[in-house]
Structure 1
Amino acid sequence: MRIDKAIESVMMMDDPTWARHASPWSFWTRVPLLALFALAVWSRVWIGWWSLVPIGLVLVWTLVNPRAFSPPATLDNWASQVVLGERCWLARKTKPIPAHHAKAAMILSLLSGLSIIPLAYGLWVLDAWAVFAGAMLASVFKLWFGDRMAWLWADMADRPETERSGAQQT
């Protein structure tokens, strides 16, 4: 199973949840989650095992967030288009996407994933610079990925439905 599909499954994302997740409020309140998670893990230095409370709160918010807001009144904003593009990305096996988007998205996903290495190392050995560098790099690559998803959505929305579904035009 692809990791992105596994995450979608764990998050229990269905059509109504995706519609709510397309809210800019949902998108923008997820952006700081990695930094908040790092801070929650780091809090073990100050509050010991009680750090499990903020860690748990961040994890619960991660699961609740896509359901916490109403669907947006309009989808013509960047944050909503990121979410719509992400749905196209996740459905790429059944509804092919342009190759240039697939390649760029894979590279950005890889770079974002690799950025977790210095973050995890920094949290393990309590190196604030490694945590900062890893969190910032992962966030930058994730936002860049998001921008690519908005671009993908724009390209997919411009294509005829028959082409978007992978059917051949005659």
Structure 2
Amino acid sequence: MKTLAKWSVDDYHRMIQVGILCDRRVELLAGEIVEMSPETPIHYSTAKRGAKYLEELLIGRADVRFNGPITLSNSEPEPDIAIVRLPESAYNQRHPEPPDIFWVVEVAKSSLQKDLELKTSIYASANIPEYWVLNLSTGQIIVFREPHNGKYVSKQTIGEGKITPIAFPDIQVSVEKLLM
């Protein structure tokens, strides 16, 4: 049985700085450099519209990042949407880290298995309080909450109505608007 070498976040950053990974769509997941799935038009459009919608709801309260990296202990995923603490200028010299992150959103169809298994484990291990998966195949949002020992204790599948984010209990996010 082969043992793969795991890469640290620092190793990954050095590879980016010297150009080893230029022109490659990759992310660091649990110490492994993984090719990112190509984005279909519906995936990209849903993620972009979702980010704009969340920006409108959270103006002046959070920075809504679209397709940008976040830095975790042994991973640097690029969630479709990350809702992070202000000010935006805090991320001029670094990517958001777990204490900065309110929640992350992945849009999934072909990447659904990776998003529900590997990324769920990565985000829960980083103690990201909330993780939403927009399942384009079923038209539902899977909401993960309460990270504990590398797993989310709470999982809820929602097909319509509103979701109230943990970090912003006065905000109502329309499931239909996120999935349209």
TM range, smaller chain = under 0.3
User: Highest Rg: 1 or 2?
Assistant: 1
Does 1 or 2 have the higher relative contact order (CA < 8 Å, sep 6+)? 1
Q: Which has the higher helix share?
A: 1
Normalised to the residue count of structure 2, the TM-score between the two structures is 0.22
Q: Which has the higher strand share?
A: 2
